[in-house]
Structure 1
Amino acid sequence: MIRLLLAFVAAGLVALAACSPALAAKSAAAPSLQAPAAVLVQPDTEDVVLRRSANERRPIASTTKLMTALVTLEQADLDDEVTAVRYNALPAESLMGLQAGDRVTIRDLVRGLLLASGNDAATTLAVRVGGSRRAFVRMMNRRAREIGLSNTHYANPVGLDDPGNYSSAMDLAKLALVLMRNPFFARTVDRQAATVEIDGHKRTIVNRNTLLREAKWVHGVKTGHTMQAGYVLVGAASNKGVRLVSAVLGDPSEAARDADSLALLKWGLARYRRTTALRKGQVLARPKLAFRDQRTRLVAARRVRAVARKGEKLEVRVVGAPAEISGSVPAGRRMGTIVVSRRGRELARVPLVTATAVTAASFTDKVDSALPVPWVLILVLALLAACSLLVVFRRRRQVRRRQTRARRRGDTETA
C-alpha cells in the first residue's frame, strides 16, 4: 500500500475533468491561494490534482507531530500507561496540560498530541517510546526515509523552529495518507473534541483544526503555526466515496490557511465521482449452447465501484469466456474473468459466471445438429414417399388377393 501511495507522487498526474456544481465549485479553474506552497492529491486515482512548490523544503511547525504519531502508533501499545516527563514550555506553546509524574495512557497522549497539539504530550511520547528525545528523533528520520519522504528531516518531535526541522507539502500529504490507514488515527483527527484522563482526572481537549466545525465533509488532519513556518494545515475530506488530502504551508494567517484548505478540498471533490464500473448480474457474454440454436447468459458475480474523474470512463473487458458451452453447467459456475481497469491499470478481477443452469443437449438435439437442414427435409420427404409406396403396395396385394379368392369361388360354382 505504501508503494501505491508513493506511486502517485512519481506519476505527477494532474486531474483535468470538468467541475461539478456540487459543493458550490462551479468553475473549472483552480482556486486562488495565498499559501506559497500547497498540494492536493486524490489517492484512489493517484492524481496530484494541484501543486504549488509542492517539493520545496519549508518549516512545518506542529505538523511535525504527524511523524511523532506514526512512530508512536507503530511502536507502542495504546493501552500502555506511562508517566509524563517534565516539559519546560514557553508562554505561547500548545500544551495538553501534563505535569511531571502524571499517569496517562499512550492512547490519551496521542489524542492530546493530535487535537490539542500538546508539546508536552509529544515530549513524553518521545521519551517513553524512544528512550530519549534524541533516540526518538532518529526513529522519526529513519521512518521518513523508509516511506520515501525525500524532502523531510526532523530535529525534534514537537515542531519548534529549527533549521534541521523541515518538510514539503507533498511529503506531508504522503505522510497523512499513510497515517489515515490507521483507524485510531483517522477517528481521532476527525473529532472536534475528546475526553482524556490525566492522573485519574478527566479533561476535555478541543481540536485546534476548526475546519471540522465548518464543513462536515472535512475529516482532519493537523494544524501548525510558528513564526518561521507561518500557518500550516494538512487537510482531509471525503464526499460520496471520493477522498482528498491537501496541505498548505506558509499562509499569512489562520483565516487564510483555513480558506485555502477549504477552497482546495471543495474544488477537488467537485472534480471526481465514485462510479459503478460493473453491476452484479450484468450480462457480459452470451455463448452458444452446443448442438442447439440457443445461447445462455454469463454475468458479473459482484459489483465494482471506483473513483474516476468526472467524464472519465472505466475500462471493462472479458477474459477467458467460452464461445460455446457443452454439457450441463450449474448456475453460478465460473466461465471466465472480468477485468476492470482505469487508465490501463487494473482495479479488480471479477468472476464471470452462468446466470442460470444449463442442461445437456438431448439425443434429438445432437441429431438435428449433426444433419444440415436441407438433408433433414430430404430425409423426411424420402420417408414419407417410402411410407406412401408401402401403403400402395399393400393395397394392391389386398386387391389381388380378393380377385384371386373371387375367381376360385367362381370356378367352384361352375363345376
Structure 2
Amino acid sequence: MSARAVTLLAALLAAFALAAPAAAPAQQRPDISAPSAIVIEASTGDVVFERKADEKRLIASTTKLMTALIALEGVALDDTLTVSPYNAAPAESVANLRAGERMRVADLLRALLLASANDAATTLANGISGSVPAFVREMNARAKELGLRNTSYDNPVGLDGPRNRSTARDLVRLALVLRRDDFFRETVNRPRAALQSGARKRTVLNRNRLVRDHAFVDGVKTGRTQQAGYVLVGSATRKGVTVLSAVLGEPGEAARDADTLALLRYGLGRYRRTTLVERNEVLREADLKYRDEQVDLVAAESVQRVLRRGERAQVRVLGAPAEIEGPTAAGARVGTVEVRVRGRTVARTPLITAAAVEEASLSERLSEVLSRPASLLLVALLLACTVSLVLLRRRVVQRAGGVR
C-alpha cells in the first residue's frame, strides 16, 4: 500500500472515531440497605430496580398519600372545613391546629403533605366523610379500585395498625396517580408553605429534606413510626425524565435519604427523553396529478418519548398516498405517523400536506393526458386512420372522374 493510501486510511479511521457516539458508562446497581425498595420510570412504568417490592410492610405516614387522594378527588381546594379535636401523642406530627378553627382544604393538604400533620388528616377525614371510620372505608375502596392489591388501611394518619400496610410497588403506583394532579405536584415540591386560618398564619416545613437539598428531587412523602422504621416515597426529574422510588423499613433517616438518592440517580441515569418526530418534519412526498411536481407530506405534531439509553424507536408512515389531486388544502390529513417502541405503538400523529394543492387547469390535464404513451399511440392511430381515409377519398374521386 502506498504512503498516500495509508495516510488517507488513517484519516478516515480518525473521522469515524470522532463521529461514533461514545458508549455510555455502565451503571452499577444501587447498593442500598432498605429491606424493601423500588424505582420506576414515570411515563412508561418500567421497573428499573426492585427488592422485595411486593412485601407487605407498615408504611407510617406515607398512608397520607391515600388521604390526600381522597381529598383531592372528593372536595374542592377552596372548600373550608372545621378543624376536628385531635389528641396527639408526644411523638406525633401535628400542625397545632385548634379545634373549631376554619381552614381551606388547600391549606389542610399542605399541612398534611409537608408537615405530615395528623390533625390535618383527621380534619379532612371528618370533614369529607363525616367520621374517621367512614373515611377509612373510602380509602380501602379506592385502593381496590386502583388495583393496589397489597394495600389496606386502618386510619388516615399512618399510625401502626394490623391492617395499615402496603408495599413499595403499590406506593409508587399510588404516587403516579397523585402526580397527575397539578396541586399535588406543586405542593410536594415546596420546601415550605404558609397556611392561613382567619387572621392566623402558620408556616410549615417539608419534612422531605431531599426536596430542600437537591434541586432535581421533587417529592413525595416521608413516614416514620417505631415499628415501621423510616419510609420515603421519592420522585425526581431531570431533562424531561421523571422517576419514582420507595424505600421501606429503613433503620434511620440518613439511610433512608441516601438510599432514595441512590435509587433516583440510578433511575435517571438509565433513561433519556428524545424527540422522535419533529413537527413539520418531511416524511414523504406525493406526486401532483396532472403535473410534474410533488408536495411534501409532514408530521402534524412533534412526538417526544422517554427511552432507555441505547434503545431505538421505529417511525412508520401509514396510508400515505403516492399521488394527490387538487384542490387540497394545506394541512389536510393524508395518513398517519406511528411510533413504536419494543414492538408496541406508543404514539400516533397525523401526516398532513405541507402546502395547498391547487386544482389542475384544463391545459394541464390535457397535457398530462397527451403525454401518456397510450395516448400518444392512440393519436398516432387516429392520425394514420385520418391519412388513410383522405388517401382513400382521393382515389375514389379520381376513379369517378375517369369514368366520365
Q: TM-score band, normalised by the shorter chain?
A: 0.7 to 0.9
Alignment partner of 1:370 out of 369, 372, 380: 372
* Matched residue, 1:398: none
SS of aligned partner of 2:294: coil
What is the CA distance between 1:210 and its match in structure 2? 0.3
Q: Which amino acid aligns with 1:369?
A: S
* Matched residue, 2:126: 127
1:4-403 equivalent positions in 2, closer than 5 A: 27-359=26-358, 360=360, 362-371=364-373
SS of aligned partner of 2:249: strand
Separation in structure 2 between the aligned mates of residue 131 and residue 340 of structure 1, nearest angstrom: 49
Separation in structure 2 between the aligned mates of residue 351 and residue 332 of structure 1, nearest angstrom: 9
> CA distance change for structure 1 residues 357 and 102 in 2, over 3 Å: closer, same or farther?
closer
How many residues end up aligned between the 2 structures? 361
Q: Are the aligned partners of 2:317 and 2:337 in contact in 1 as well (CA < 8 Å)?
A: yes
What is the CA distance between 1:373 and its match in structure 2? 11
- So what's the TM-score if we normalise by structure 1? 0.81
What is the CA distance between 1:270 and its match in structure 2? 1.3
Q: Are the aligned partners of 1:62 and 1:224 in contact in 2 as well (CA < 8 Å)?
A: yes
Q: Are the aligned partners of 1:114 and 1:189 in contact in 2 as well (CA < 8 Å)?
A: yes
What is the CA distance between 1:292 and its match in structure 2? 4.4
What is the CA distance between 1:375 and its match in structure 2? 6.3
- So what's the TM-score if we normalise by structure 2? 0.83
Q: Are the aligned partners of 2:194 and 2:202 in contact in 1 as well (CA < 8 Å)?
A: yes
Separation in structure 2 between the aligned mates of residue 238 and residue 69 of structure 1, nearest angstrom: 22
What is the CA distance between 1:206 and its match in structure 2? 0.3
Separation in structure 1 between the aligned mates of residue 331 and residue 56 of structure 2, nearest angstrom: 56
What is the CA distance between 1:184 and its match in structure 2? 1.1
Unmatched 5+ stretches in structure 2: 1-20, 388-404
Q: Deviations over 1:85-129 (max 9, x none)?
A: 221111111111112222222221111111110111111211221
What is the CA distance between 1:200 and its match in structure 2? 2.7
What is the CA distance between 1:341 and its match in structure 2? 2.3
Q: Which amino acid aligns with 2:357?
A: V
SS of aligned partner of 1:174: helix
Separation in structure 1 between the aligned mates of residue 89 and residue 22 of structure 2, nearest angstrom: 46
Q: Are the aligned partners of 1:20 and 1:270 in contact in 2 as well (CA < 8 Å)?
A: no
Separation in structure 2 between the aligned mates of residue 107 and residue 333 of structure 1, nearest angstrom: 45
What is the CA distance between 1:365 and its match in structure 2? 2.8
Q: Deviations over 1:234-277 (max 9, x none)?
A: 01111111111111111111011111111111111111111111
Separation in structure 2 between the aligned mates of residue 354 and residue 199 of structure 1, nearest angstrom: 59
Which has the higher mean CA deviation after the structures are superposed, 339-348 or 37-46?
339-348
> CA distance change for structure 1 residues 97 and 19 in 2, over 3 Å: closer, same or farther?
farther
Q: Deviations over 1:124-172 (max 9, x none)?
A: 2112212111111111111111111100110111111111110000110
Separation in structure 2 between the aligned mates of residue 144 and residue 251 of structure 1, nearest angstrom: 24
SS of aligned partner of 2:162: coil
Separation in structure 1 between the aligned mates of residue 156 and residue 369 of structure 2, nearest angstrom: 83
The Cα RMSD (Å) is: 2.5
> CA distance change for structure 1 residues 325 and 80 in 2, over 3 Å: closer, same or farther?
closer
Separation in structure 2 between the aligned mates of residue 147 and residue 205 of structure 1, nearest angstrom: 31
Q: Deviations over 1:298-351 (max 9, x none)?
A: 111221111111121222111111122234433322221111222233233222
Separation in structure 1 between the aligned mates of residue 329 and residue 157 of structure 2, nearest angstrom: 63
Separation in structure 2 between the aligned mates of residue 363 and residue 74 of structure 1, nearest angstrom: 62
Q: Deviations over 1:359-382 (max 9, x none)?
A: 426045324432369969999xx9
SS of aligned partner of 2:371: helix
SS of aligned partner of 2:165: coil
Q: Are the aligned partners of 2:114 and 2:204 in contact in 1 as well (CA < 8 Å)?
A: yes
SS of aligned partner of 1:296: strand
Q: Are the aligned partners of 2:290 and 2:365 in contact in 1 as well (CA < 8 Å)?
A: no
Q: Are the aligned partners of 1:297 and 1:356 in contact in 2 as well (CA < 8 Å)?
A: yes
Separation in structure 2 between the aligned mates of residue 195 and residue 209 of structure 1, nearest angstrom: 17
Which has the higher mean CA deviation after the structures are superposed, 357-366 or 147-156?
357-366
SS of aligned partner of 1:312: coil
SS of aligned partner of 2:58: coil
Q: Which amino acid aligns with 2:226?
A: M
Percentage of matched positions with identical amino acids:
54
Unmatched 5+ stretches in structure 1: 1-17, 387-415
SS of aligned partner of 2:98: coil
> CA distance change for structure 1 residues 78 and 328 in 2, over 3 Å: closer, same or farther?
closer
Which has the higher mean CA deviation after the structures are superposed, 337-346 or 312-321?
337-346
Separation in structure 2 between the aligned mates of residue 54 and residue 20 of structure 1, nearest angstrom: 31
Q: Which amino acid aligns with 1:107?
A: A
Q: Which amino acid aligns with 2:247?
A: V
Q: Deviations over 1:157-199 (max 9, x none)?
A: 1111111110000110011111111111111111100000235
> CA distance change for structure 1 residues 86 and 330 in 2, over 3 Å: closer, same or farther?
closer
Q: Which amino acid aligns with 2:177?
A: V
Q: Are the aligned partners of 1:127 and 1:136 in contact in 2 as well (CA < 8 Å)?
A: yes
> CA distance change for structure 1 residues 236 and 377 in 2, over 3 Å: closer, same or farther?
same
Q: Which amino acid aligns with 2:77?
A: L
Q: Are the aligned partners of 1:221 and 1:234 in contact in 2 as well (CA < 8 Å)?
A: yes
